A and B are shown apart, each in its own frame.
Chain A
Amino acid sequence: MTSTLSSYIQSIPYIKENLYWLTEMLGPEVTAFVIFFIGAFIVANVMALVGGLGTYAERKISADIQQRIGPNRVGPLGILQFLADGVKMIMKENIVPRDADKFLYYLGPLLCMVGIFAACAVLPISSGFILADLNVGVFYLLAISSLVGLGILLGGYSSNSKWSMLGGMRGASQIISYEIPVTISILAIVVLSGGLSFGKIVQSQSGLPTEWYVFHNPFTFIAFIVYFIASLAEANRAPFDLPEAESELVSGYHTEFTGMRFAFFALAEYVEVFVLCTVASALFLGGYNVPFRLGGDSLLGQVLQTIVFFSKTCFLYYVVIWIRWTLPRLRVDQLMTLCWKYLTPIALFNLVGVSIWLVIFDGKSLLQLIKGLF
């Protein structure tokens, strides 16, 4: 019971008393399980909602960019559109291609969902609400979100259709290639903060933009841009949406998927975009830190932290959607050139730059150094 969430819950007096008899009745292990189950249940539901609202936001924002109205029939401003879509997808007929590898065909969407939901466990939503503040948090997130790539590859391979196969292979090669710039630009932040756990990295920044890691020194600023571009490619978002390029491959790796299994692929994709935006805001944009530490660690403070964190993330999410409806798609060879000949060398250069900065200036930020001059 030393994790952040349970220790925070125990510090609230009212809940502490109630928790006492629960522990008496069930024993500490089962109590921990109950607490974590409730927390995980909340996170899973919020993520499913985020995925659903993501599709709505995408359609509404794209409509705005193209001067259309977008969904406006279901619910106020069409906000319940994703529920209608979900119901429609459940009602769709369940078609499995006759030549498909049935087991892998069912396994594909499952791996996508499991990978991306497990990654949600380490997201630092507020100082009291991190489901699992693992001491290898960043590393864990990078490792477990690779399951999505595996799911895409299996989905493409198993349906035994040429379009799916091409999409799956492209998806796999793209995701593994862009993992290198993502990993190395995150390493630059790990060097500065001196730890791999999300809680530690966020706490070593603070509320005001001058204390964020983006503006720490020029190298981290470039690292942020590299991370953002590479994470777009890792989530198969435009302009890197080659695995499902509808103008060349019919629908890419999910051509043969109908109904709910298609919905799970789409949900996993939207949640992955959200998770990557979350990681960007936690590592580079100060995470849940409220300016001037308003509210402190009280319940009000927790709410403020959550609001600050989600507003940063939603801003990045908006930028992602904005990019999708603005830029044209790349070619496969341009994609690989961008990754291996531009982003990876730049990310390596950043890592060296940040390391030298840490040794020479003892971890002080550029603004602190300028202030020190006067």
Chain B
Amino acid sequence: MGPAFELNSYMPVIILMGLAAMIVILGHFVSVFLSPKKIDKYNKKDHAYECGEEPVATAWAAFSIRFYVVGLIFIIFDVESVLIFPVAAVFREFNQAGMGAIVLFEILFFVFILVAGIAYCWRKGDLDWIKSFQSIPKRKNNSIQLNGEQE
């Protein structure tokens, strides 16, 4: 069970990756070789599609912050669930050895952290796709009126 064994069992993975990359690259070159190259008379053909109009500005503009919030929540949850994996994998062995309660406590602890996290995000309104301003507590003598979106 040296390092050679580990290398061997990952060999098919690398071969499959290589085959997939080869399919894509070969497909591309065959397509380039066979496909027609029509002259673009009006110099309009390779515009990005925008319902037939000339594209207005670039698409690489500022984007809705909701996507980043979802990304952040995902990272936290993903790391947490990755940490449960080793515990879950040895659970049965430990249970047969009579130490199931320890592992159960461990899993409950992990799940408690996850549930606390989801409850916090829920309470803060970060799980709603449209976050209304009403969940932000207003100060009493606020001169600026926050006209919140009413859903």
Contacts and interface: CB of A to CB of B under 8 A. Distances in A.
A40 B15 contact: yes
A44 B20 contact: yes
B127 A91 contact: no
Interface stretch (A66-74, A161-169, A225-233): A161-169
Contacts of A92: 31, 35
Given A98-B46, A99-B48, A3 B59 contact: no
Given A117-B20, A161-B48, A344-B118, A355 B108 contact: yes
A351 to B, nearest CB: 6
Interface string A120-133: 11000000000111
A184 interface: yes
B91 A94 contact: no
Contacts of B9: 2-3, 132-134
Given A173-B67, A337-B129, A341-B127, A194 B59 contact: no
Nearest to B77: A180
A39 interface: yes
A93 interface: yes
Nearest to A182: B81
Nearest to A2: B5
Given A93-B35, A94-B35, A260 B28 contact: yes
SS of B interface (majority): helix
A96 B115 contact: no
Contacts of A121: 12-13, 16
A302 B45 CA distance: 53
A37 B15 contact: yes
Nearest to A159: B48
Nearest to A156: B59
B interface residue count range (under 10 / 10 to 19 / 20 to 34 / 35 or more): 35 or more
Contact of A180 (B60, B81, B122): B81
A36 B9 CA distance: 10
Contact of B20 (A37, A118, A259): A118
Interface string A190-204: 111111100000000
Nearest to B81: A183
Interface stretch (A12-20, A291-299, A309-317, A358-366): A358-366
A1 B20 contact: no
Nearest to A100: B48
Contacts of A53: none
Interface string B76-118: 0110011011001111110100001101100110010011001
25 contacts: A40-B16, A90-B27, A90-B35, A91-B35, A110-B21, A118-B17, A121-B16, A131-B13, A132-B9, A133-B9, A160-B48, A164-B48, A169-B67, A173-B70, A180-B77, A194-B93, A196-B85, A259-B31, A260-B27, A333-B129, A333-B130, A340-B73, A358-B91, A358-B92, A359-B101
